[in-house]
Amino acid sequence: MSAYDPIPGLLVSLDEQVLRLTFDLAERRNALNDDVVAACIDAIDAAGRDEAVRAVVLCGAGRDFCSGFDIVARNAGGGPRPRVGSIQRRLPSQANRLIPLMLRTQVPIVSVVRGWAAGIGLNLALASDVCLAAADARFWAPFVGRGFTPDSGATWMLPRRIGEVRARDMILLGRVVDGTEAAEWGMIHRAVPAEQLDEAAEQVVTQLASSATVALGLAKWLLNSSRSKALDDQLHDEAFSMELSSRSEDFKEGLAAFRDKREPQYEGR
């Protein structure tokens, strides 16, 4: 099977250099299961190495983006209880692998959010390079209110994106934030009226997919790695990235376009 093959619950398509992953569990508000998470990991990992892919889009079928992980289905049934420690053994190869992969992969990732983005759905939006949402979308960290603690990077990404106080408001007090407020807080890139969301998202995806792919990927790496770097180390990485990007065909095209006073036509090389 190809990493781009669809599975029950996840639609996958590659069209004009854009890989689209659509959560297709609308009857459960696109609550994810183990198979869908594993398929997302495989697809995004493959996209990071695939010369044909220049952008990845995450979205949800139906009214919602993703309402979290389907813990009800996981805990249903009369089978034997798992051994103590099963969660901490399982997460490193599932959700805790998907979020760092999204941050590390040099292909830009865009999330398009309507309806609920809760639990891991919230974290997928936060881990994306650009998130656009309907103004009436709902971002929610429901963990503590359901009697368990946050996972998949929520306590790492939220404070860095919106600050400690607002992160505590969402995680400890369960505050639901709509798309408009999420944009005002800097949690997401932009919020638009629901009827304009698809068009606004396509404009961003088109821009990213037609950009200087090598420079874009290295810039993403620099932004994410800077969180744990001293200035001298970051300057070293910037010099390294400049060396690589300046050897690309897109760099030559950018210089030629500037000289000729025209828009560049980048090929992603």
For the cut 60, the answer to whether the pLDDT of residue 127 exceeds it is yes
Residue 144's pLDDT is 84
CATH architecture, domain defined by 10-209: Alpha-Beta Complex (3.90)
Q: Quote the tokens at residue 113.
A: 């959010």
Q: Render pLDDT for 167-198 as a digit per residue (tens, 0 to 9).
A: 999 999 999 999 999 999 999 999 999 999 99
Q: Render pLDDT for 91-111 as a digit per residue (tens, 0 to 9).
A: 555 778 899 999 999 999 999
Residue 151, SS3 per DSSP: coil
Axis crossing angle, helix 213-225 with helix 249-260, rounded to the nearest 10 = 110
Residue 29, SS3 per DSSP: coil
Listed residue (24, 25, 23) closest to 58, CA to CA: 23
Considering only residues 89 and 158, tell me which one the structure prediction assigns the higher pLDDT: 158
Kindly state the average pLDDT of the residues 229-235: 93
Kind and range of the H or E element at 89? helix 86-90
Considering only residues 227 and 22, tell me which one the structure prediction assigns the higher pLDDT: 22
